[in-house]
Structure 1
Amino acid sequence: MSIFQDANRKQIANRRRVDWLLHILFVIATSVGVLALCALIIDVLVDGVARLQPQLFTEFPSRKADGSGMKSALVGTVYMLLIMLPLSFVLGVGAAIYLEEYAGKNRLTRLIQLNISTLAGVPSIVYGILGLTIFVRLMSLDRSLIAGAFTMTLLVLPIIIVSAQEAIRAVPKSRRDASFALGATKWQTVSRSVIPSSLAGILTGVILAMSRAIGETAPLVMIGALTYVAFLPNSLMDSFTVMPIQIYNWISKPQLEFKELAASGILVLLALLLIMNFSAIMLRNKYQKNV
């Protein structure tokens, strides 16, 4: 018995040693990423804080750094979000409701689900090529705000559909059964029981998808979003620019002043992303308490 006990103790000691080594390895790996991120943020803060002045939000881009701002890019980003949000919410959540609540579990449904999951991981440049082909050339929308919004809607739709499906799937079956037992129809059960119960997850997915969209540059470059726009779009067919493209334009210039402007633009974009992520957390907590 003592031989088996000794072997057992050695195995336990070896496992604990391996666990400790793996724990240290994971802590080091995480620390490297966190430290690199902190270094980048500190570097951007040092370069960009001095340029965080009112003219950054009130002036249009200029060839002179002293009088240059990102008003057109900031307004273009907001306009694009205002167009994308209702489109992506209605289409994405509607598709998720249909697939989870109404579509039969057959081969066609599984094929559609597989394609949606695959599209959620497709590189964003592919959506830019698709938007260029369909919206810019085929539909003759040119390099307009509406073409950019449609292209970015295509980008975020698979993400919203997948996240909304997960939220709807998480609703307990007992809620549906209780609703049916009370005499509710299928749509009444979905609209008054399933959707309110899953709204926290749906809204979180939508806001996080919007956060990804405002940080993307490749699809908008493909459809021809301009790097220098010294006016605000007055209609959906006007040319536009967004914050990531304006930041790229500044950082590609050799003058040090434009590097500082790019750093300040990055800070504004980071602040907007943090606000949207914080809003997602607040909405999730609010609706989870009400469920």
Structure 2
Amino acid sequence: MMNGLPIADLAMLAVALLAAGALTGVLAGLFGVGGGAVIVPILFEVFGILGIDDEVRMPLAVGTSLAIIIPTSIRSFRGHYLKGAVDMSVLRAWAVPVVLGVVAGSLIARYADPWVFMLVFILVAGVNSIKLLFGNEKWRVAMDLPKGLALRAYGGLIGLLSALMGIGGGQISNIIMTLHNRGIHQAVATSAGLGVLISVPGALGYIYAGWGREGLPPDAIGFVSLLGLILVVPTTLLTAQIGVNLAHAWPKRKLEVAFGIFLAIVCARFVYAILT
């Protein structure tokens, strides 16, 4: 028994986490995301079943997600880089402001109420869901990305929001790049590189943010669950290359619709959690 949960149920949760890890890896390569959009809501529900305190449940899911997507993001970025699809000039321009945004998000995480994390997730995932379900590839706000300070401001925004919702930045950067006339394959590949810049400082920041907090499970280091790492990471590593190959070989419309519906359901779940 753990927190009143039978061993058989724990085994089922472990299987669910392994399956989630497999899906995370595929999504990391396919959409240029670290998989946090999948892992965060799953961990949120799992930690709830295990009886984790509501005050730390959401930041624990976010911090653990950031730690989980470290190896996934590295593998995904390497795969896209070897295919020559990454825009390194954009990645270099975003590197410092992205990390600064992540640091700011980690500091906020130490003091923010749970609803703050949920609200950021709802806003970002909701916009992405709408774009996936109803968006047109011809939608544009400009014919190219801005230069200088404006481009770096995008990087800071990506880092801040990603750190607060536990993602590798792909959802946000994909939208920004495609709306600025960049091809989806380049956007996906470049977004994969952001996952590395976000996940490493993000995980370390959440360890700091949760250090000494009450209500955390015994396996947690700050807001990072070691059990979550052990169960999810292996399958993400095994399946990330599958997603990379799919991104360069398959039409993605049906998968985009499925992912958009999933995000909409998650948003509705977090709205319910905030209201209740």
TM-score w.r.t. the length of structure 1 is: 0.30
In terms of Rg, which structure is larger?
A: 1
Give TM-score, length-normalised by structure 2: 0.31
Which of the pair has the greater relative contact order for Cα pairs under 8 Å at 6+ separation? Answer: 2
